[in-house]
Structures are given as C-alpha cells and as structure tokens.
Structure 1
C-alpha cells in the first residue's frame, strides 16, 4: 500500500507542478497582454492627440487664409488708392470749378475703394504731424532737425499706411524730427 500511496503522492506532485506551470504561463500571458494593452492605449491616446492638434492647426490655417489670403491683392491695390489720393491733393479750387464732375468722380472712386477695403478688414494708418513715431506701423523716410519738436515726432506724412485686420500691410511713410526740444 505504501507503493500505491507513493504513486498517488507522486501523481499529485506532478499535477501540482503542472498546475503551477500552467498558472505561471497564464500569469505571463496576462502580463504580456497587459503590456500590449498599455502600449496600444498609449499609441491610441497619442494618435487622438495628433488628430486633435491637426484639426486645430487646420482650423487656424483656414481662419488665417480667410483673413489674410487676399493680402497680395490688397497690397497691389494700394498704389491705386495712392494715385487717387495724389490726384485729389493737387486739385485746386480753380481746377474744381473747371472740372468739378470729374473731381467728384475721383472722390467717389476713392471713397468706394475705401469702402471695399473696409469690408475686407483693411484700415488706414493715418499718422498726423506731431504724433510719436512708432516703428511697428511707421517707416521713417528721413530725419531732420525741426525747431520746437521733440526727437521722434512725426514732422511730415508722405504716404498712408494700411493694416489688414491686425497685420501691417504697408507702413505709413513719414519724416521724423531729430531735434531735441529746447
């Protein structure tokens, strides 16, 4: 009976080892699956973040294209405005008396051009003599010592500047005082 008992104990020991081996394999498989799950979850979260960033970037680029896409055309239209402005500056009272309807037509054309600019977010930068020079929106064409002015004061405006929404389309061209007051 002792042999039978030893045989049963041996079979139980082998069965226990087999169960332990199976459990070890199962635990190893579970750990491998957990690691794979965690890696896939991480990759999924990264892909989701990339997709969201791409969407935001596309939205931002679309908005910028809507706002600033016409900047080249707008910049090309500024000389037309300048020509109309110069034409009106040289119109004397005598010339207005002789060619009033033509001058009025030029004024209406300039006004309509400004209305079109306004509809598309283009605004004029119109400094005045005595304003402070701002390099963000002005371009200094020359400096000159002018009595009773402070260095950095605008002493002459040669050309208006323009903004397209919040971006500078063209700086206002100005002359700047180089003389300290005193």
Structure 2
C-alpha cells in the first residue's frame, strides 16, 4: 500500500471514529432524556395511585356525612320525646317509653358503628370553639368566663370531623 492510500485510509478511519463518537454521544443524550421522561411518568403514576387511595379512604370514612347529618334531628326528637314525659305518666306509658328508649339506643348503636360519636359537654367544662357553638352568653355567679353553663343540644363527630357542634350557653362572668 502506498503512503497516500495509507493516509487516506487513516483520514477515513478518523472521520468514521469522529462520526461514530458523535452518533454515540447523541444516542447517550437521547437515552438520558428518555430515562428522565420515564422516571417523571413513573413518579406521576405513583402520585396518582397514592391520591386515588387517599380519596378512596376519605370517601369510605366520610361518604355518609350527609346521611349522618340528616339522622341527627331524629336522634334529637327521640331524646326530646323521652325528656318531655312527666314522671307521673312514666308508669302508665311504660311499654311506649321502653319502645322509644330502645329505638334511641339502637340509633345510637348504629351511629357508633359508623364512627359517629357524641360531643357531650357538661356544665362547668371550658368552651371549645372547635366542638361547641355558643348560643348565648350570660353572667352566672360562681363561674368563670368561658365556662359552659348550659347544654342545649349535643354535638356529633364523624370519626374526627365535626358533624354538628354542641350548642351551649357560656358564662360571661369576669374571672
């Protein structure tokens, strides 16, 4: 082989290697870009899965909120019916009263089974705006400002969410 042919072959080989290196670098860049896109899509899919699971759990726990709120007046009315019966009539209406008490107890059990619990403050407890609704404020000797002096209706929680605040009267007596 002549020197000219050898030089020509070397130039061709260098051009081929340069072209090959450029192609290889382009392929690596494309691979890295595709890997990055894949990782982003994978992370988005995982986030969507977690969000769907969280939404499913929340719907399971709190999906019955409207029904639960609609049942609270039934509880209140049964409770009021029992409280309205005069003591002298209790003996005469024993079976009826027992039926209403059983119905109220069953309603309370069903509500408890579904995560509905009572918020039952007592007179003397401290007012908590997260759980109680102040219906009136009045000075009452022997109490401190912010103490509950009367409970008008019980409140209810659905798991950890407030369905209805307990309606209370609060002392305004300065401490």
- TM-score with structure 2 length normalisation? 0.97
After TM superposition, the runs of 4+ consecutive aligned structure 1 residues lying more than 6 A away are: none
1:13 positional shift: 1.5
1:65 positional shift: 0.8
- Larger-gyration structure (1/2): 1
- 1:109 aligned residue (103, 110, 114): 103
Task: Return the alpha-carbon distance in structure 1 between the equivalents of residues 82 and 35 of structure 2.
Answer: 69
Task: Return the alpha-carbon distance in structure 2 between the equivalents of residues 22 and 91 of structure 1.
Answer: 103
2:31 maps to what in 1? 37
Task: Return the alpha-carbon distance in structure 2 between the equivalents of residues 146 and 12 of structure 1.
Answer: 113
What does the per-residue CA deviation read over 1:29-48, in whole Å, with 9 as the maximum and x for residues that have no partner?
11111111111111111111
1:149 maps to what in 2? 143
User: Matched residue of 1:135: which SS?
Assistant: coil
Task: Return the alpha-carbon distance in structure 1 between the equivalents of residues 28 and 76 of structure 2.
Answer: 71
Task: Return the alpha-carbon distance in structure 2 between the equivalents of residues 100 and 109 of structure 1.
Answer: 14
2:125 maps to what in 1? 131
1:98 positional shift: 1.9
Task: Return the alpha-carbon distance in structure 1 between the equivalents of residues 130 and 92 of structure 2.
Answer: 42
Task: Return the alpha-carbon distance in structure 1 between the equivalents of residues 151 and 90 of structure 2.
Answer: 24
Task: Return the alpha-carbon distance in structure 1 between the equivalents of residues 105 and 60 of structure 2.
Answer: 24
Number of matched pairs: 175
Compute the RMSD of aligned alpha carbons. 1.0
1:14 positional shift: 1.5
Task: Return the alpha-carbon distance in structure 2 between the equivalents of residues 153 and 73 of structure 1.
Answer: 32
1:48 maps to what in 2? 42
